[in-house]
Amino acid sequence: MLDNIFKSLDNHYTEMVEIRRYLHQHPELSFKEYKTAEYISLFYKKLGIPVRTGVGGNGVVATLTGKRPGPTVALRADFDALPIQDEKDVPYKSKVPGVMHACGHDGHTATLLILAKVLNHVKAEIEGSVVFIHQHAEEYAPGGAISMIEDGCLDGVDVIFGTHLWASEPVGTIQYRVGPMMAAADRFTITVQGAGGHGAQPHKTKDAIVTASQLVVNLQQIVSRQVDPVESAVVTVGSFVARNAFNVIADSAELIGTVRTFDESIRTKIENDIDRITKGTCLTSDCSYQYQYFRGYPAVVNHEKETEFLIKCTEAVPDVTNINETPLQMGGEDFAYYLQHVKGTFFFTGAKPANVDTPFPHHHPKFDIDEKAMLIAAKTLGSATIQYLLSENKNLQAN
């Protein structure tokens, strides 16, 4: 059956590309993906696959039921875009000013839609069910995964698989990792409150810029001196705002940053360390402060058995030329929530554009993928789905 599925996916590759390019031209931001959700649901309705819309917000969930009862496999793709101006010179360039698919979510969606279409052709041979989870709002915490789970998208699901098209790796590459794979992604805001005044009379002020500048330096000591060197963590101040005239000493300054960790105890420690260091720095300068820490997605932690199973399934996928373990990634992904509820694994599918030495990174205005990666992703997900259903049914019969 797998060979037929692979051939059918090859035959539908042109349609897969057409879907991806249509979505690329019509991107929608997180929590505003109304037309995209409608496009996805209409696709399933035309296939005759039962579909539920408005799941946890703009989420769409379709369920393909085989000829006989059996295990249930879930596959997930996200479909939101980013607030970035598309600067590529291509026919499928975004038509929406200031919005583009700069992370491959259009490709994820096209991959899953065509895989669903192909599996629908062989549903008479499937023993079990396949749940296609199309998730909104992956790019912006709190994200769409947690609300979709609360709305029942994982009800009855035994295992879940997901992939991310990864433009830094060559096409033909599948990257996996057992255990922690992607980091928890948190953000923080610190407002330093001083007392402004004339630039020529600093002794009559409490300079918020000087205090905030010292704070930025002091925060760098958290990872270098407070976290065990064998562990991984990032504390980054990404925004420093204190607008004023050239001859005015600022009365306030705002810092916004991100924290990335894999270990929950380190995550909590850094949250407390930022508060402690901010308090001490502001006390030294006789300034006050406000501190907010927002916990985003938890770390993506893959299950060992399911990850090893995926590796075996991938070995039989045509055009996969390299299977390797990915290094830990500091990027965040709310696929983490699914893995907290059911067993499964998340992996990367190489999508580096052809004839490019250094591809533009994810979230870049000129980001793009090699669309052949979608076909490999579909075959890998399809292989994992079918082989899981077959192996679990054999286990049930043996017991």
Strand partners, 161: 75, 345
Give the rounded percent of residues in the chain with a pLDDT score beyond 90. Answer: 95
For residue 380, how far is the Cα from the chain centroid? 19
**Catalytic hit among 28, 78, 80, 207:** 80
Average pLDDT estimate for 352-370: 96
Alpha helices in the chain (DSSP H): 2-11, 13-25, 34-47, 105-121, 145-150, 208-219, 221, 264-284, 304-314, 335-341, 372-398
How many CA atoms, within 13 angstroms, populate the side-chain half-sphere of residue 392?
19
Tokens linked to 82: 């980013």
For residue 141, how far is the Cα from the chain centroid? 10
Which pLDDT does position 398 carry in this prediction?
61
Residue 399 has pLDDT above 60, yes or no: no
State the pLDDT confidence band at 1, using cuts at 50, 70 and 90: confident
- The model scores a pTM over 0.85: yes
Is 80 part of the annotated catalytic residue set?
A: yes
Residue 260 has pLDDT above 60, yes or no: yes
Q: What is the pLDDT of residues 153-180, one digit of tens each?
A: 999 999 999 999 999 999 999 999 999 9
Average pLDDT estimate for 235-259: 97
State the pLDDT confidence band at 21, using cuts at 50, 70 and 90: very high
Strand residues in 213-266 grouped as ranges (E)? 233-241, 248-249, 252-261
State the pLDDT confidence band at 312, using cuts at 50, 70 and 90: very high
| Distance of alpha carbon 399 from alpha carbon 388, whole angstroms | 17
Percent of the chain as helix, strand, coil, to the nearest 5 = 40, 30, 35
Class of domain 2-182+299-398: alpha beta
Domain boundaries, the chain: 2-182+299-398, 184-297
Altogether, the residues listed in the chain come to a count of 399
CATH architecture of 184-297: 2-Layer Sandwich (3.30)
| Distance of alpha carbon 304 from alpha carbon 369, whole angstroms | 29
Contact 292, 193 (CB under 8 A): no
Tokens linked to 310: 């995926």
Query: Is residue 113 exposed (0-12), middle (13-18) or buried (19+ Cβ within 10 Å)?
Result: buried
Average pLDDT estimate for 288-317: 97
Q: What is the pLDDT of residues 194-242, one digit of tens each?
A: 999 999 999 999 999 999 999 999 999 999 999 999 999 999 999 999 9
Which pLDDT does position 392 carry in this prediction?
83
Is 254 part of the annotated catalytic residue set?
A: no
Residue 333 has pLDDT above 90, yes or no: yes
| Distance of alpha carbon 69 from alpha carbon 133, whole angstroms | 20
Which pLDDT does position 316 carry in this prediction?
87
Which pLDDT does position 68 carry in this prediction?
86
Residue 344 has pLDDT above 90, yes or no: yes
Among 237, 222, 233, which Cα is nearest to 190's?
237
State the pLDDT confidence band at 103, using cuts at 50, 70 and 90: very high
Among 218, 283, 216, 223, which Cα is nearest to 253's?
216
State the pLDDT confidence band at 377, using cuts at 50, 70 and 90: very high
Which pLDDT does position 397 carry in this prediction?
64
Tokens linked to 243: 């607008």
Q: Which residue bears the tokens 């894999």? A: 262
Per-chain mean pLDDT for the chain: 96
Which pLDDT does position 396 carry in this prediction?
59
| Distance of alpha carbon 82 from alpha carbon 71, whole angstroms | 36
**Catalytic hit among 78, 106, 138, 158:** 138
Tokens linked to 304: 């060992």
Tokens linked to 384: 């994992």
Residue 92 has pLDDT above 70, yes or no: yes
Q: Which residue bears the tokens 């980091």? A: 183
Among 385, 5, 328, 389, which Cα is nearest to 175's?
328
Residue 106 has pLDDT above 80, yes or no: yes
The neighbour count for residue 150, using CB atoms within 10 Å, is 12
